[in-house]
Amino acid sequence: MSARTQQRSFAGGEVTPEFWAHIDDAKYQSGLAKCRNFIVLPHGPAQNRPGTRFVREVKASVYPTRLIPFTYSSTQTIVIEVGQGYFRFHTQGATITTDGTTPYEVSNPYHAEDLFEIKYVQSADVLTLTHPGYQPLELRRLGATNWTLSTISFVSALPAPSSVSVSATLASSPSGLVTYSYVVTAVNDSALDESPQSSVSLNGASLPLNAAGGTTPGITISTPAVLNTPVTHNLAEGDAIDLSSTGLTGVDGTWYVTAPGDKYFSVKNSSGALLSTVGTGTYSGTGQYRLHGCKNNLLQTGASNAISWPTVAGAKRYYIYKFSNGLYGYIGQTEQTSFVDSDITADVSKTPPQQQSPFSGAGNYPGAVSYFEQRRCFAGTTSKPQTLWMTRSGTESNMSYSLPTRDDDAITFRVAAREANTIRHIVPLSNLVLLTGSAEWRVTSLNSDAITPSTVSVRPQSFIGANNVSPLIINNNLIYAAARGGHIRELAYAWQSSGYVTGDLSLRAPHLFDNLDIVDAAFAKSPQPIAWFVSSNGKLLGLTYVPEQQVGAWHQHDTDGVFESVAVVAEGSYDAVYVVVRRTINGASVRYIERFAPRLFDAAEDAFFVDCGATYAGGAPVTTISGLTWLEGKTVSILADGAVMPQRVVSGGAITLDQPASTVHIGLPITADIQTLPLALQVDSGFGQGRPKNVSRVWLRVYRSGGIWAGPSEDRLSEVKPRRYEDYGAAPGLRTEELGLAVPASWSDGGSIIVRQIDPLPLTICGMTLEVSVGGG
């Protein structure tokens, strides 16, 4: 018996042979047994992928090279070539040069084996780069050929004010004197960068330790030492003083008063050990002391303390803090270099910042970086693999905190997990998501407001784990490569569980991933939403992904070489896909940077469907095209003025055409195949399974296509005749219609058909109808 079948969509993409018996699955009717060098469109058609244009050989082909995207503005985007010891920059399919020929470069410290473990995040014109083996770096764009690479400082760029002094104005009848101490910080014009606190303010004048001409020594040589003053000193237990000019070894410095008398006292260090002057030398008699702070009683009328300090370069304002109840609390600010305290109550909820630099020294360099809620986030050091650091709110690198804690302080916390695994990725979705080698975590605020040091909540979402490839954010979904098994996972928020759930996007196509690894990834939004993945076998895997429409179609891509890296940047109205491809040219292994041509063309002569290619568009018709040195010795396909020319071998960097042409595309051939799944027919209760089948005729609904072959197997293909009514000598036109083709007879258990494109021409298949003969069971 005979029947006709129709495949109206290919949106199921390529599926594994293990899936071929699942005829009841919703994706079966739109799936393909093979989708090679074809792209599945979200709305159903399949079209052969465009070719790649040669950009430039990498600086050192002997080493692996990686591509990283950089978006300076909506109209200025760059792909950064990251190689061993250097950066290069490419845009609009060309390399940025200093003189028209020499590529512009910036040095970097990275070794080739570490390039694909670099994590990055961009903010404005700054690209942050992290790797656990290197200090975190900032690559900053100052101009097209003016980039700088620098290490990141995590302490204030402003120095602390120096030489802060305080002098007291006493009441007319002073009494009840106490010690007042102050510190000062400098603040920049944005008020986001506050310097470390100054040293504690010193009394304006140094006081002597012995009376002039007296017989009592200023410091006794004894244990403990006794310090004598010519007049009543008014010092109290615990007062901090600085000793100077004593002439005794190890005595000059900061001490704390103990056992004070009217004109004498002893001192101890911060550990409580009393000062002993035995063995320190002979006292010179010129010793002085200076009180930390000043003695006053600001509760009395007319009393005040004047604090002063020198100007700090880069400071816009200064904050003044007074010691109260064990802390220095805020009492005011000024743009001047002096401030008067006439009994201002210290606000101890606002204290000077405590500076920290957590990423100093080998083993302490972060391996992950991102931004979230106006903070730059770091994680995954070797010494603290499960710790996350978030800068002070609104800052890029301020890791300071306060005592007591404030909401805008830097945040540091460790993810307490059942397994010790390094945080590999920090991903900002509606919540902050952390990916480790064995689990996925959500970081939120306990009160649903912004995350603060006191409201951090960390909860596990799943226990799959991610590898080192940077995940992709698509809409509000996260796509990442699993730590084990090589599959691609999807993480999305599910309101039913009030959390994130993960699923396997490779479920129907495990043959593209099993026993392999994903080594790089990128996402193109336009003209089609496609996630691109570089596999360890050198293939480029594409996932046409529209989650809201439940479209997730896989397609695989190969070339005369192996893909090693991929990056995507917006260029005009579409997203340009750049790749690094390792090829063998003229007997040598080389690595080329290539850019996928846009699949946008007005006429057949503008269609670009060759790899590693270039275009001659000089206007005057020519027969010889030279300058093809990067393709030396390779057999190339040729499209000249819209007509397919015989292939040629590049010799001496040149080829010769059969006839003159003014627009010529030259590059490596691309073979593009789609193969249908085994047929499931409603001819009996078994849907035709277990019956031999033979497809005798194929109808292809195509759009702007040419150069079509079809048949039951790769070695039994028939060509759709390209010509219809074109004038003699004119290139065949592209066709938009339903094309019928008789194919060689071939009885098989599946009845599948292969459609192939081997010419440098476009092919878009909208649907397919098969006439099938079904044998007895």
Q: Is the pLDDT of residue 379 over 60?
A: yes
Would you say 375 and 154 are in contact if contact means Cβ atoms under 8 Å apart?
no
Task: Judge residue 773's burial from the number of C-beta atoms within 10 Å of its C-beta, 0-12 exposed, 13-18 middle, 19 or more buried.
Answer: middle
What would the two tokens of residue 544 be? Answer: 């046409």
Q: What is the dihedral of CA 137, 142, 143, 147, to 10 degrees?
A: -30
Give the integer Cα–Cα distance in Å for 444 and 272. 44
Is residue 466 scored above 70 in pLDDT? yes
Mean pLDDT of 212-222: 77
pLDDT in tens, 46-72: 999 999 999 999 999 999 999 999 998
Q: Give exposure, 251-290, as e/b (b: 16+ Cβ within 10 Å).
A: beeebbbbebeeebbbbbeeeeeebebeebeebebebbbb
pLDDT mean over 167-179: 93
pLDDT at 205 over 90: no
Q: Among candidates 24, 95, 114, which has minimal Cα distance to 55?
A: 95
Interior angle at CA 325, CA 321 and CA 327, nearest 5: 40
What is the number of alpha carbons within 13 Å of residue 241 lying toward its C-beta? 31
Residue 448 confidence (pLDDT): 73
pLDDT of 234 reads 87
> How far is Cα 175 from Cα 300, in angstroms, rounded to an integer?
8
pTM: 0.89
Note whether 372 and 450 are within 8 A (CB).
Answer: no
AA letter at 464: I
For the stretch 85-129, pLDDT in tens is: 999 999 999 999 998 899 999 999 999 999 999 999 999 999 999
Q: Which residues contact 387 (CB under 8 A, 6 or more apart)?
A: 379, 381, 412, 413, 414, 415, 423
At residue 216, the pLDDT reads 75
Pair 465, 484: CB distance under 8 Å? yes
For residue 329, what pLDDT is reported?
96
Taking residue 389's Cβ as centre, other Cβ atoms within 10 Å add up to 22
8 Å CB contact between 253 and 305 = no
Minimum mean pLDDT range among 33-37, 215-219, 764-768: 215-219
18's tokens: 């293990």
Tokens standing for residue 645: 């020319």
pLDDT confidence bin for 644, thresholds 50/70/90: very high
**243 three-class SS:** strand
> Could you tell me the two tokens for 707?
């150069």
Closest by alpha carbon to 220, among 178, 181, 148, 277? 277
- Taking the CA atoms of the chain, what radius of gyration do you get in angstroms? 37
CA 58 to chain centre: 22
Would you say residue 390 has pLDDT above 90? Answer: yes
CATH says 52-155+361-588 is which class?
mainly beta
- Start-to-end CA span in the chain (Å): 12
The Cα–Cα gap between 591 and 59 comes to: 9
**What is the rounded distance in angstroms from the CA atom of residue 117 to the CA atom of residue 470?**
9
**Could you identify the residue written with the tokens 């057999």?**
635
For residue 35, give the 3-state DSSP assignment.
strand
Round to whole Å and give the CA distance between 89 and 69: 10
Amino acid 33: pLDDT: 95
> pLDDT per residue over 503-557, tens digit each?
999 999 999 999 999 999 999 999 999 999 999 999 999 999 999 888 999 999 9
Mean pLDDT of 643-663: 96
Half-sphere exposure of 374 (CA within 13 A, CB side): 11
Q: Which single residue is written with the structure tokens 């909401």? A: 407
The pLDDT mean for the chain works out to: 92
Structural tokens at position 487: 């599959």
Q: Is the pLDDT of residue 215 over 80?
A: no
What is the topology classification, in CATH, of domain 165-341?
Answer: Elongation Factor Tu (Ef-tu); domain 3 (2.40.30)
Listed residue (694, 708, 674, 682) closest to 744, CA to CA: 694
Q: Report the candidate in 540, 532, 415 with the shortest Cα–Cα distance to residue 474.
A: 532
**Domain residue ranges of the chain, discontinuous segments joined by +:** 2-36+672-774, 52-155+361-588, 165-341, 597-668
pLDDT at 417 (0 to 100): 78
Helix (H, G, I), strand (E, B) or coil at 123: strand
Check if the beta carbon of residue 693 is closer than 8 Å to that of residue 745.
Answer: no
Report the alpha-carbon distance of residue 205 to residue 202 in Å, rounded: 8
Which pLDDT belongs to residue 8? 87
Question: Per residue in 125-171, pLDDT tens?
Answer: 999 999 999 999 999 999 999 999 999 999 898 999 999 999 999 99
474-495 average pLDDT score: 92
The answer to whether the CB of 136 falls within 8 A of the CB of 360 is no
Query: How many whole angstroms separate alpha carbon 136 and alpha carbon 139?
Result: 10
Residues in a beta bridge with 77: 71
- In this structure, what token pair is assigned to residue 260? 């004070």
- For residues 409-428, average pLDDT: 90
In degrees to the nearest 10, what's the CA dihedral of 134, 135, 139, 145? -70
Of the ranges 271-285, 399-413, 676-690, which one carries the lowest mean pLDDT score?
676-690
DSSP alpha helix (H) spans, 31-100: none
Q: How confident is the model at residue 84 (pLDDT cuts 50, 70, 90)?
A: very high
Q: Which two tokens stand for residue 757?
A: 């494109």
Res. 316 pLDDT band, cuts 50 70 90: very high
Q: What are phi and psi of 29, to 5 degrees?
A: -70, -15
User: Is residue 251 over pLDDT 60?
Assistant: yes
Which 8-state DSSP code applies to residue 196? P
In this predicted structure, the answer to whether residue 211 has a pLDDT above a threshold of 80 is: no
441's CB contacts (< 8 A; 6+ apart) are 415, 417, 433, 434, 435, 458, 459, 460, 461
The SS3 call for residue 351 is coil
User: pLDDT tens digits for 684-719?
Assistant: 655 567 678 778 899 999 999 998 999 999 999 999
